[in-house]
A and B are shown apart, each in its own frame.
Chain A
Amino acid sequence: MIRRLLLTLLFCSLGMLAMVSAQNSKYWVFLKNKKSVTFDPYSYFDKKAIERRIANGISLVDSTDFPLNSIYETSITSLADSVSHSSRWFNAMCVYASSEKIEEIRNLPFVSDVELMESAPIACSVEGAGWDTTLNASMTSILEKQTKRMGGDLFENAGIDGKGIRIAIFDGGFPSVNTSPVFEQIRKENRIIKTWDFAKNKEFVYGYMSHGTMTMSCIAGMIKGKKIGLATGAEFLLARTEVKREIFSEEENWLAAVEWADKNGADIISSSLGYTYQRYFQNQMDGKTTLVTRAANFAARKGMLVVNAAGNDGDNDWHIVGAPADADSCLSVGGIDPITDFHITFSSLGPTWDKRAKPNISTFGHVAAAGKNGMQQVDGTSFACPLAAGFAACAWQMNRSLKNMQMFLEIEKSADLYPYFDYAHGFGVPQASYFTENKKQISDTSFDFVKKEDVLKVMVRQAYLDKKTGGFQSHLYYNIQDTDGLLTEYNVILVSSNEVLSFRTSNYKKGEKLNVHLGSYTGSYTF
């Protein structure tokens, strides 16, 4: 009898558990206005944030920076179970409330909308994690390549290391950043300006997931005199926004962190997170639907350069870039394989659902990074993103007069495939030479289009083949672009003789375009 009772109780508790978890949910409560609030930008913003606004021609008094109306806040707080965060930009509060209370909140005259929240996972893999202080040959090789591929030695020779640029990193924790020799110089020079754990609402961030340590090392780490990332002289704001391994991210934390970064003068946000199928559908990757995407665009409007990982869904059903990498103003970074030098299989692809071109650029998707206890080789666009963020800091240091979106475009232009573009590589890997030599290297024409009757051939010039020293110079990229400017296919092929490609022109519609890139030369043919 007792057992039967116990089992009945167990069944009931299962049901109750479900009901309880359904009842006390987390919601975004959006407010209608900011009536009767006062705002002093000089007391709210960090000096650096004011400088950035002035440099970008942004007003210091913008209603989106105003605090929330305190009367509204008090009313909502009295009804909610608890308040987690609030957002000035979205004029919203994040609250825990029962379904009855949230209805009461929804009916308040100053509430414009209520949105249910959930946490959302994104897949980012860490391979070969382990304690390793030494740099083996394979690790050294990757380490040297990951900055050299962007022409990092040119920045180094020019003494450019991101000095004066403030980078906010959003991640799941930064264990050993406060002790590791990889970040010693940063600590010595007090260049970790502020830290905040948005999951626990406290300053300490030097624990939890080592993912943040690794991404930070890909921006600014140094090991045995070798640069892991390029911006070894930059300043940092470290925000813990994610709360579980395999990156259970909280969109709410991201929003709070981006406003915090703005307030504290960040120039660049490096965010290796993304929201995909757990929370959204693919048709919501349209650059305007998700809150985090809108926040990324907001951050750009405030003068910050948002650098975000494209995502690791290229080889699964999701396929396309996640949020916020789908944002127009977000520099979305895809991954290439350091061995093959083209798209690494897992890196998410463009276009966005609404057919916009993404990712913007690529860097290595397999890197050597500093973890909690030593160097590791790791995979993920999570690490391509900070490599690009480090590059951006150096490029911006050299061009402080540029506004954030001008810098965005310059970084795209610096990429080695530019003006060629495809949905796997974006414009390719950004190159320091574009900034240090103040121009893009113009190379000789490497191929010609030759049309005979119905056949169009792409012929590689003999001079190019003679000069070619092997390696990746022999990769030819080409795509077919339809009359709306969308790519219908794209390819990378290995060049070994003059006659590379031939096309039957009658198979293509009038106005469709063939774009080809070889060496650093891009040519197009319109059918």
Chain B
Amino acid sequence: MKKILAIAIIILISGQCYSQQILFHKDVKDTTMGKVGPNLKNFHHFYIGFGFIGGDNNGAGNDIVLGKSTNFVFGYRYKLKICKHYAIGYDLAFNSYTFALEQKKGKIFPDTILHNKKETFSYYNVGLSPYMRFNYGRRGNSIGKFIDLGAYGDWTYTARTFAKDKVENGNIVKITTSNLKYINSFNYGALVRIGFNRWVIFGSYRLSDIFKTSDTYNFSELPRTTLGLQVGIHK
């Protein structure tokens, strides 16, 4: 519809009148190099990613199940090209971390109760991540091969624990606990990415602590490392 309107306007402006049906119309655009493109001055796109949380289970009562502890991210990425091999940029992203908690003797996080189906701890963030990008290899107007080094800062807008049990009569009991008082609202860390065009392997390391330390709560930190894959939503 927009196209038809545009054609109609062009025709009116150019002073041409048609009594016939237009099958095909092209205006020849000025060929100037744009400023927005994968390897032009500015580029931005959305992306989606999924990763696994890993690291040392230190046996301090909050061991996680590796492979089931995951990270999801959906974000917007902006890149400003400084020169052929160097760019800077930032991500604005929504992300979530879900830790599958091992149910075994000695567990203390979030409590000592063992659940027979599963128990998870999740927190959800919005965050900003500035980064530097080092491109290598020859490329045209495409993102090409790159390594990103950066940092992230996340604001945790909600966190919760979830427990699921099968009780004696066969019923399933699910318990969600939110408004957790022992969670820090902000966390930050370092990130590294290696990518080729839309495909990106990412890793992040949380430098801040998730848990507040107080007389009431004194949980050991959960694993800090995440590794995963992101896919840029662009050509």
**Judging by beta carbons under 8 Å apart, are B16 and A503 in contact?**
yes
A277 to B203, CA, bound (A): 29
Contact of A11 among B16, B20, B39, B192 (CB under 8 A): B192
Query: B112: CB under 8 A from chain A?
Result: no
Which residues on A sit within 8 Å (CB–CB) of B137?
21-22, 25, 116, 118
A316 to B54, CA, bound (A): 41
Query: A36: CB under 8 A from chain B?
Result: no
**Judging by beta carbons under 8 Å apart, are A18 and B15 in contact?**
no
Query: A450: CB under 8 A from chain B?
Result: no
Query: A7: CB under 8 A from chain B?
Result: yes
Contact of B28 among A279, A283, A488 (CB under 8 A): A488
Which residues on B sit within 8 Å (CB–CB) of A492?
22-25
Which B1-38 residues have a C-beta within 8 angstroms of A?
Answer: 14-28, 31, 33, 37-38
A476 to B23, CA, bound (A): 10
A213 to B22, CA, bound (A): 38
Given known contacts A25-B137, A475-B23, A282 and B33 CB-to-CB distance under 8 angstroms: yes
Which residues on A sit within 8 Å (CB–CB) of B22?
491-494
Which residues on B sit within 8 Å (CB–CB) of A355?
31
Query: A10: CB under 8 A from chain B?
Result: yes
**Judging by beta carbons under 8 Å apart, are A278 and B227 in contact?**
no
**Judging by beta carbons under 8 Å apart, are A18 and B147 in contact?**
yes
A355 to B16, CA, bound (A): 25
Nearest CB of A to B197, in Å? 8
**Judging by beta carbons under 8 Å apart, are B57 and A340 in contact?**
no
Which residues on A sit within 8 Å (CB–CB) of B37?
317
**Chain A window 486-527, contacts with chain B (Cβ cutoff 8 Å), 1 for yes, 0 for no:** 111111111111011111101100000000000000000000
**Judging by beta carbons under 8 Å apart, are B27 and A3 in contact?**
no
**Chain A window 19-56, contacts with chain B (Cβ cutoff 8 Å), 1 for yes, 0 for no:** 00110010000000000000000000000000000000
Given known contacts A7-B54, A11-B192, A281-B141, A494 and B20 CB-to-CB distance under 8 angstroms: yes
**Judging by beta carbons under 8 Å apart, are A501 and B16 in contact?**
yes
Which A270-284 residues have a C-beta within 8 angstroms of B?
Answer: 276-284
**Judging by beta carbons under 8 Å apart, are A278 and B142 in contact?**
yes
Minimal Cβ-Cβ distance residue in A for B225: A7
Which A108-122 residues have a C-beta within 8 angstroms of B?
Answer: 116-118, 120
**Judging by beta carbons under 8 Å apart, are B203 and A282 in contact?**
no
A50 to B15, CA, bound (A): 58
**Chain B window 122-133, contacts with chain A (Cβ cutoff 8 Å), 1 for yes, 0 for no:** 000000000000
Query: A442: CB under 8 A from chain B?
Result: no
**Judging by beta carbons under 8 Å apart, are A277 and B142 in contact?**
yes
Given known contacts A3-B56, A282-B31, A277 and B140 CB-to-CB distance under 8 angstroms: yes
Nearest CB of B to A16, in Å? 10
Given known contacts A3-B57, A14-B194, A497-B20, A491 and B142 CB-to-CB distance under 8 angstroms: no
Query: B55: CB under 8 A from chain A?
Result: yes
Minimal Cβ-Cβ distance residue in A for B13: A507
Which residues on A sit within 8 Å (CB–CB) of B54?
3, 7
A499 to B33, CA, bound (A): 40
A434 to B37, CA, bound (A): 45
Nearest CB of A to B75, in Å? 20
**Judging by beta carbons under 8 Å apart, are A503 and B26 in contact?**
no
**Judging by beta carbons under 8 Å apart, are B23 and A353 in contact?**
no
Minimal Cβ-Cβ distance residue in A for B29: A319
**Judging by beta carbons under 8 Å apart, are B141 and A496 in contact?**
no
**Judging by beta carbons under 8 Å apart, are A487 and B145 in contact?**
no
Query: B105: CB under 8 A from chain A?
Result: no
Interface residues on B, range: 35 or more
Contact of B20 among A116, A353, A493 (CB under 8 A): A493
Which residues on A sit within 8 Å (CB–CB) of B19?
497, 499-501
Contact of B25 among A22, A279, A489, A503 (CB under 8 A): A489
- Tell which of B23, B37, B227 has the most Cβ of chain A within 10 Å: B23
Given known contacts A11-B203, A14-B201, A353 and B31 CB-to-CB distance under 8 angstroms: yes
Contact of B17 among A3, A317, A422, A502 (CB under 8 A): A502
Contact of B194 among A18, A25, A424, A475 (CB under 8 A): A18
Minimal Cβ-Cβ distance residue in A for B56: A4
Interface residues on A, range: 35 or more
**Judging by beta carbons under 8 Å apart, are B20 and A22 in contact?**
no
Which residues on A sit within 8 Å (CB–CB) of B142?
277-279
Query: B136: CB under 8 A from chain A?
Result: yes
Minimal Cβ-Cβ distance residue in A for B226: A7
Nearest CB of A to B128, in Å? 22
Nearest CB of B to A472, in Å? 10
A278 to B28, CA, bound (A): 24
**Judging by beta carbons under 8 Å apart, are B23 and A14 in contact?**
no
Nearest CB of A to B26, in Å? 5
**Judging by beta carbons under 8 Å apart, are B27 and A116 in contact?**
no
A116 to B22, CA, bound (A): 47
**Judging by beta carbons under 8 Å apart, are A507 and B23 in contact?**
no
Minimal Cβ-Cβ distance residue in B for A318: B141
A493 to B19, CA, bound (A): 10
A476 to B145, CA, bound (A): 48
Minimal Cβ-Cβ distance residue in A for B36: A317
Given known contacts A14-B194, A496-B21, A503 and B139 CB-to-CB distance under 8 angstroms: no
Minimal Cβ-Cβ distance residue in B for A279: B140
**Judging by beta carbons under 8 Å apart, are A349 and B33 in contact?**
no
Which residues on A sit within 8 Å (CB–CB) of B24?
342-343, 424, 491-492
**Judging by beta carbons under 8 Å apart, are B56 and A316 in contact?**
no
Which residues on B sit within 8 Å (CB–CB) of A343?
24
**Judging by beta carbons under 8 Å apart, are A501 and B18 in contact?**
yes
Query: A1: CB under 8 A from chain B?
Result: yes
Query: A15: CB under 8 A from chain B?
Result: yes
Query: A383: CB under 8 A from chain B?
Result: no
**Judging by beta carbons under 8 Å apart, are B20 and A495 in contact?**
yes
Which residues on A sit within 8 Å (CB–CB) of B38?
277
**Judging by beta carbons under 8 Å apart, are B194 and A316 in contact?**
no
A233 to B235, CA, bound (A): 42
Which residues on B sit within 8 Å (CB–CB) of A265?
none
Residues of chain B at the chain A interface (Cβ within 8 Å): 14-28, 31, 33, 37-39, 54-57, 66, 136-142, 145, 147, 192, 194, 201, 203, 225, 227, 235
18 new A-B contacts at CB < 8 Å, known A14-B201, A423-B28, A490-B25 = A3-B54, A3-B66, A18-B194, A277-B38, A277-B141, A279-B138, A317-B37, A318-B141, A342-B24, A355-B31, A488-B28, A489-B14, A489-B25, A491-B26, A494-B20, A497-B19, A501-B16, A506-B15
A-B contact pairs, 15 of them (CB 8 A): A25-B137, A117-B138, A277-B142, A280-B140, A355-B31, A423-B26, A476-B20, A489-B28, A491-B23, A491-B26, A501-B17, A503-B16, A504-B15, A506-B15, A507-B14
Nearest 10 CB-CB pairings of A with B:
A504-B15, A507-B15, A492-B24, A280-B140, A494-B21, A277-B141, A279-B140, A22-B136, A492-B23, A116-B138
